[in-house]
Amino acid sequence: MKTLLLLILLVFLSLCVQEQGDIQMPSVSAQSIIDACIKLCNSAKAYQDLSNGPCLGNPIPEYPDWVCDVAHSPRQTSVDDLTKNQCSAYREGRVAHFVEVDTNCNLLRAI
């Protein structure tokens, strides 16, 4: 009986979304996706002004269902949530998830 309950609990936990503050992590591999976005950001920061919130991975090359986008910190919902300011692959529904970082390449959220 204990084994069955433990098994049910493990299945339930594996299906749950792990939340950390404003960051929803849909899977265990989400950290590698976040790391890839931060790497893209740090590379772009060396040669590009990030203050206008560019889309850096449309999609992220290693993760074709994710985009990497730069937003304000703190987020300015009146600007950052506008459809026209989102990566086109996400906006057009070609990818389902996004990672947002600030202009210093710090994680804001991942969904």
Query: What are the boundaries of each domain within the chain?
Result: 24-110
pLDDT at 23: 54
pLDDT at 15: 42
- pTM metric for this prediction: 0.72
Q: For each of the chain's 111 residues, which pLDDT tens digit applies?
A: 543 333 333 333 344 334 444 555 455 488 999 999 999 999 999 999 999 899 999 999 999 999 999 999 988 888 888 999 999 999 999 999 999 999 999 999 999
DSSP H helices, the chain, are 2-15, 30-45, 77-80, 88-91
Question: What is the spatial distance between Cα 108 and Cα 23, in angstroms, rounded to a whole number?
Answer: 7
Question: What is the spatial distance between Cα 99 and Cα 109, in angstroms, rounded to a whole number?
Answer: 6
